[in-house]
Amino acid sequence: MKDILNIVDENDEIIGQETREKIHSDGLLHREVHVYFVTPNKEIIFQHRAKDKDTFPDLLDATVGGHVEMGDSYEKTAVKEAEEETGLKIKASDLIFAGKIKNRSEDRITGKINYAFLAVYLYVYTGDVSELKIEAGKALGFEVWAISDLLALDDNSKARFIPGVLALVTTRLAEFIKNIKIS
* Calpha distance 95→147 (Å, rounded): 20
Q: Are 114 and 24 in contact (CB under 8 A)?
A: yes
Query: Total structural domains in the chain?
Result: 1
22-41 average pLDDT score: 97
Place 2 in a pLDDT band, splitting at 50, 70 and 90: low
The pLDDT score that the predictor gives to residue 182 is 83
Strands 43-49 and 29-38: antiparallel
CB 27 within 8 A of CB 113: yes
pLDDT digits (tens, 9 = 90+) for 114-156: 999 999 999 999 999 999 999 988 999 999 999 999 999 999 9
User: For the segment 69-90, what is each residue's pLDDT rounded down to a tens digit?
Assistant: 999 999 999 999 999 999 999 9
Please name which of 77, 157, 158, 58 lies closest in space to residue 117, comparing C-alpha atoms.
77
Domain of residue 65 covers 4-179
Is 106 within 8 Å of 113 (Cβ atoms)? yes
Identity of residue 46: F
In this model, does residue 35 exceed pLDDT 90?
yes
Residues 10-32 have a mean pLDDT of 96
pLDDT of residue 108: 84
Q: What is the pLDDT of residue 146?
A: 96
Residue 149, domain CATH: 3.90.79.10
| Average confidence score pLDDT of the chain | 94
